Each structure stands twice: as C-alpha cells, then as structure tokens.
Chains A and B, each alone.
Chain A
Amino acid sequence: MDFVSQLQRKFIDYSSSLHREFTRLALYPVLANTQGIVDDQFTQLRKLEDENSPHFVMEVASLFFEDCGKLINNMAIALEQKQGVDFKQIDECIHQLKGSSSSIGAMRVKNACIAFRTFSDAKNREGCLRCLQQLSHEYSLLKNKLQTLFRVSVASRYLYVCLLIVSRENEHAEPFSDVLVFQLEQQIVAAGGSIPRVH
C-alpha cells in the first residue's frame, strides 16, 4: 500500500514536471503567432480540428511541407539552369506556394513569396536566388516550429490519457491529480488540440 502510494506519488510528480514542460511548450503556438510565423489562418485551421478529424492540422501541415519542399526544389533547379532560367515556371511555383502558404497561415513564407515574385517578374536571376534562399529559411523555421507543436500536442494527449486512467483507477488518488488533469485539459485546448476521448 505504501509502496503503491509512493509510486503514485512519483508518477504524479513526473506528470507535474511534464505538465510544466507542456505548459511552456503549449505557449508555442502563441509564440509562433507573435513572432509572425503563422497568422490567424492557422488558428482557423486549428479550429477545424475536432473529434472527427483529430489530426487535421498535422495532416494539412504535412501536405504543405511536402508540397513546399518540392516547389522550392524545383525552383532551385530552374534557377540553376545554365541555358536560361525558365521564369514562367518559377512564377507558377511561386504562385502555388503563395496559395498554399496563405491557406495554412504561414505568413512569413507567404511574404517571402510575394517578394520573390517581384524579382521573378523582373527576371532577375540574382534577386531570385536571394529570395529563394530567404524562402527556404522561412520554410525551415516554420517546419521546426510546427513539428515541435505537433510533438507537444501528441505528447500532451498521451499524458492526458495516462493521467485520466490513473485518476480513474485510483479512487484514492490525490485530489492533486484531478486538478492536474483539469489543467492539462485546459492546456490542450489552449494549444488548439482536442481532448482525446477516453473510455
């Protein structure tokens, strides 16, 4: 009995520290917003996530990363052409990238695209190369942040589930765990995730 309680206590302590970490990391979306990495559109995207599509944001973001990676690659290849740069193709890539980045709420990527376009219209190869570099940078930044967010979201969900199970299994659990669960729920929601249903 005592041993079990000790284990429970250990578990709860561990959960608290995780919880603290999560609290910190759950602010990430907010941080990302304030830093201008993603804008309101991303928030809208998160709102679309619900029980029916629990990983919606992740799916969309994955598609975006894949698409964006390809486009950036194509543009790099096009700009490297010795014979002559196909600006039309680059223009199309930019257009598509602009569309998808604005759909996902990737503000900085979109702005980079707009700047890129002016150089592309002017058929300025040097300018395009610089812009492409900038674009790549923004893309990497976005990717990192979003991936962290997703990891946190997934981790928090697991954590939440564990806590729920523990608290339910243990009628004598410390009230502290209930509070923890509740707080965790709030954090998950604040991070734009949905509370996983545990039966």
Chain B
Amino acid sequence: MRVERIINDTNDEFPIGIRVLAVDDDPTCLLLLESLLRRCKYNVTTTNQAITALKLLRQNKFDLVISDVHMPDMDGFKLLELVGLEMDLPVIMLSANGDTNVVMKGITHGACDYLLKPVRIEELNNIWQHVVRRKRFERKDRYNSDSQDKLRANSGEAVGMGSIGNNGKLKKKRKDQDEDEERDENGHHNNEDPSIRKKPRVAWSAELHGKFVAAVNQLGMKNATPKKILELMKVEKLTTQNVGSHLQAFIRTFSAYSYDDPKVITKLTKFRLYLKRISCAANQQVNIAAAVRMRSPNGLGNFHTLAGSNQLHNAAFRSFPPRGVLGRLNTHAALLIRGLPSPGTIRSGHGQNSVNSGNDQCKLQSFVSGIHNANILHGLPMSLELDQVQTNKGVSHIGELPIADSTTVFPVSSSLIEATVTGFSGNPLLGVTSNSLMLEASSQQAGNSRDIDPAIGFRNGNTLSDFAPLAPASNRKSNADLQREPIPINWNAGELITSAPQEWNSPYQSNVTPCSMNSSIPVSGTMVQFGLCLDQNNSTDSDSIGPLSFIDNSAMEQSIIDKEGYLMLEPWGQGSHIPYNIGLLEDLWEFQ
C-alpha cells in the first residue's frame, strides 16, 4: 500500500508523486495551483467543485487536499471537516483572506495549514510534510494497535477505555445484540486481557434514549443525576455508569457549540485532550495487557497493573493541574463536568435525545476512521506525562474521538481536558486532525490549558471524548479520586458503544479504541455515511446523497433522518446512519 511504502521510504524521493487534490472555484487560481504543484512534481488532480472533490476522494486514493475557503457549492471549512472525518487526509486551506479569525477558524476545523493567495511555489514545496507527519503517527499507532488488533477485531467495539474504567466491573448492556451478554467486562470475544480492549457496549437505542430523556426531563437539569435517571428509566441491566456516561455525552452534544467562543473551545479542547490521553493510556494498557495477559476483575487494578500504567496513571493524574479547573467549572459546563446536567442542556423530546446520542455515535464513527490520525501527539510538548504516555503508547490518537460535528463543542469537555490532560496521549476528541491535538497538547503543556487556543484542534466538537463521562466529574476531586475517575469513564465509554462490532475491524479501530467507546464507530463505511449524512443533511444537493449508495449497509432511514435531522441512535451494525444536523443541534444549545 502506498502509505506503507511512503512510510518506509525515507529517501529524498518521497515528496515526488504524492497525490494532491486541488479544489478551487476560481479557474485562474486553480490553473495556477495545478501548475505550481506539477512543478513541485506532485501528482495533481483538480476540480472546481467541492462536491466533485468529495466524490473523487472517495473513489481514489489521495495523500493531501488543498482547498479554497470560499466556494459556491460548499463552504471550504465544511469540506475540510468532511475530508477529515471520512478520509482523514491532511487538508490545506487556501484563501485570499488572511484575517486572523478566518485562519483561526481554519485551524480549529482541523486544517493542517492555511496558505494565503497568491500561493507561492516555495510554500507548496513543503506541503508534503503534512502527509508524512500524519502517516507517521498513523503508522506508529498502527504498530501499537497491532497487538490489539485481534482483540478489536473480535469485539468490534471501542476498546481500551472500557478496561480501564469501571472499577473492573463492567456491566454492559447490549441492546440489539444477541449477547450472551452477561459476559464480564472484558468483552465477549476476548478471552483474556482485553477487558481493556473490548467492552460490550451499551447500545443506546432510540427507545432507551427516549426513556433516558424522559427521565432527565422529569428530573430537571439540576436533579438529573445518573442514579436518579437510572431509577426513573427502570431499565434492567443498565448501570449508573452507563447512564452517567450517556448523560455526559448527551449534555455535551447539546452544549452550545461555538467555534468562536474561545472558552468553549478551550474547554472542549482540553477535555478532548484529556480523553485522548486517557484513551492513550488505555490503549497502552491494552497493549500491555495483551502482552501480559493480565486480567483483573478490577478495572482500576488493571489500570494500575498494566505495565507502566500505574506510573502513567499517576503521572496523568498528577498532572492534573490545580489550575483552577474547578474554578472554571462555574458555568453550566462546570455542572456538566460534575456530572450534573446543566439547565437547558437536556432537552425534552425524544427526537432530540436521539439526536444527541446519534450524534455522538456518528461522531465516533466518523472518527474512527479519523482516528488513525496519528498526529495527535505530534508536537505535543514533552511534558513529563506526555513523554510517558507517548513512549508508552505511541498511540497518540487514541483519544481521537471523532469529532463528528463541528457544532458539538463541549465546554464540559474542554474544562475537563484542561484539568485532566495529563500524560495521556490519547485524546479522544481528536479524531479529525492531529494538528489540532498537537496544538491542544502544546497548549496544555504550556500550562495555558485554560487559554488553549480555542480553534485548536477543535474540529467537530465532541465526540467520544465527551464520553469520558464520569471523568469530568472527577475534576473537582482530589487527585486520588481522579485516579479512579478514568476508570469509570473508560468504562462508560465502553458502555455506550452500540453494536457495530464487525465493522470495527478496520485499522481505524486501533486508534479509536479507548476512545471509541462511545459508539461503536462503524468504521469506514459508516464514516462515509456519516460524511454523507452531513452533506445530505445540510445541503439539498442531490449529489451529496449520491455517495450514500456507496456505503455498505447504509440504509439511510429517511424516517429517522426526517426527525429534525437529528441523529438517532441506531445500532451501528445496521449501518443506518443518520445525518447529524448541525444546525438543529446548535439550536439546542441553551445554556449560557
């Protein structure tokens, strides 16, 4: 495969022949760009429409995308997100407009780079770096995941996180699966270690989610604690942790998303970083566990016993900066972090709830593919923890939870991340661009976590990382408590994974593992679906619907889609994919 070849080929010939897709509606610029790229000896394909670009990307293999920001058929940022979600390619933005806020927007949406017109050949000579960077991390991650592949393959679930969390007791609830469910937390397919890796997930079906939402509504935002919700829901085999993590995700999904709100973005970013790190740690642990075949009923124990995990764990939590994370948690975001629904976060309405869940799932899905965006750790400042994490795992993108939708920025997450970003290299939130993570991590490391550049790395808001459900709550706890936090979080993450087991066997999975707990992220197929869904949802262009047919199992259920365009929870295994209507979700944002 070309990627492998490139990775292994370190000679100077690498940049030659990389496949670049150039998208620009201005014919003059496009011709110029094409000539310049050819002059740099790249393999260039051009198109002046974003939709055509997506088609081309799906049909052919490319290494890099350069896209204009202003295009008539689709916003360049949207294309950027979609490409990151579906294909996880590095995307370079191009524009005549060099205003800082626009550049910021590009970076937050996950662009690898932002070039100004007129573009010069010197700049284009260097774009191959983005390709290498991304592939390197991806490869590194793959190596790490190799040992876990079989685990993953079996379970098809988001791995990693589950094992870490939940105090060793994972009660998973499987909705649409046959399951022989009452397996122990370590997942059904694994006979051994892998509790770390495979955790049966709770499939939050529409029905279940409906109950959840009803319960939340009944309780009110202030009272909607997982325990009470659980009581109201009266569903068997559902644990508080399941509900808690779902609540977290739910809240996050509806958190107002605003790319432009630095606080929100910062918090989210931080949270994502944290989740990522956790997942990386989890990933790491999984690796270790796989090797060691260690198995402990106590999730926490696993966490600690996994080689190095203990250290990592401690380091991670130690690094929990007493930066006043708690202080920051004074908004509803804070409430969310604490596991309490903030007022306004919970909307009544089944549809909305479904959307929320669906959204998360979708996000996860999309990110699964994006997870192998290895750049997450790239460039992360080498804090002690990070170093540990990185060396331990090398899976920087574990945390790369797909950021399904730009609208889902989770303020909660960000604060969490800030607080908890530790050595965990896994940032579940990343999913889309490694660069973003890098930035996040960097910021974190710089101790500015609070002031993390909001744009950084925030691609679609939140994804699985949001699922680090209980983790946020731990923010205000002591470090000791924190140590326990990840477990529940991880575990929870695993819980929410819906069934999409088999689709998991993609290389993406490895990356997702710990993070992907939340929703079985159907990998490639679904992701494409997801991307398409986005497209479909947000544009009436029939072209965008076209590609959907390419997806296996993709039976877009129109009825579901019609429900305000929200994502409904569907077992991923069915391949149904509901477009996530960003606009609608944004409307849901009520707090603050």
Q: Which A residues lie at the B interface, using CB under 8 A?
A: 41, 44-45, 48, 53, 56, 59-60, 63-64, 66-67, 92, 95-96, 98-100, 102-105
Contacts and interface: CB of A to CB of B under 8 A. Distances in A.
B29 A103 contact: yes
B524 interface: no
Given A63-B27, A102-B117, A105-B118, A92 B70 contact: yes
B121 A96 contact: no
Given A48-B35, A60-B35, A95-B97, 12 more contacts: A48-B36, A56-B35, A60-B28, A60-B31, A60-B32, A63-B27, A63-B28, A66-B27, A96-B96, A99-B68, A99-B95, A102-B96
B234 interface: no
B96 A98 contact: yes
Residue picked from B26, B28, B35, B39, most chain A C-beta under 10 Å: B28
B61 interface: no
A66 B117 CA distance: 19
B119 interface: yes
B127 to A, nearest CB: 17
A64 B28 contact: yes
A92 B26 CA distance: 12
10 contacts: A48-B35, A60-B35, A95-B70, A96-B25, A99-B26, A99-B117, A102-B117, A103-B28, A104-B118, A105-B118
B27 A103 contact: no
A114 B206 CA distance: 53
B96 A53 contact: no
A61 to B, nearest CB: 9
Given A99-B96, A99-B117, A103-B119, A45 B29 contact: no
Contacts of B35: 48, 53, 56, 60
Contacts of A44: 120-121
Interface in B1-34: 25-29, 31-32
A10 to B, nearest CB: 42
Contacts of B70: 92, 95-96, 99
B97 A100 contact: no
Taking chain B's interface residues, is the majority helix, strand, or loop, or is none over half, making it mixed? mixed
B39 A100 contact: no
A101 to B, nearest CB: 8
Given A48-B35, A98-B96, A67 B117 contact: no
Nearest to B27: A63
Interface residues of B, number: 20
Given A44-B121, A92-B70, A104 B96 contact: no
4 tightest A-B contacts by CB?
A99-B96, A100-B28, A102-B118, A64-B28
Contact of A103 (B25, B32, B39, B121): B32
A86 B364 CA distance: 41
B102 to A, nearest CB: 11
Contacts of A100: 26, 28-29
Contact of B96 (A45, A60, A64, A95): A95
Residue picked from B26, B120, B121, most chain A C-beta under 10 Å: B26
Given A48-B36, A99-B117, A63 B96 contact: no
A131 B165 CA distance: 64
A99 B29 contact: yes
Contacts of A48: 35-36, 39
A59 B27 CA distance: 11
Interface in B86-104: 95-97
A104 B121 CA distance: 13
A60 B120 CA distance: 15
Interface in B29-56: 29, 31-32, 35-36, 39
A89 to B, nearest CB: 11
Nearest to A104: B28
Contacts of B117: 99, 102-103
B31 A96 contact: no
A133 B558 CA distance: 51
A194 to B, nearest CB: 14
A41 B118 contact: yes
A64 B30 CA distance: 11
A66 B68 CA distance: 20
Contacts of A98: 96
A3 to B, nearest CB: 49
A100 B29 CA distance: 6
B118 A96 contact: no
A65 to B, nearest CB: 9
A44 B122 CA distance: 11
A78 B118 CA distance: 27
Nearest to B68: A99
Contacts of A66: 27
Nearest to A62: B28
A67 B26 contact: yes
Residue picked from B26, B118, B119, B121, most chain A C-beta under 10 Å: B118
Contacts of A53: 35
A64 B97 CA distance: 19
Contacts of B68: 99
Contacts of A64: 28
A67 B39 CA distance: 24
Contacts of B121: 44
A31 B28 CA distance: 24
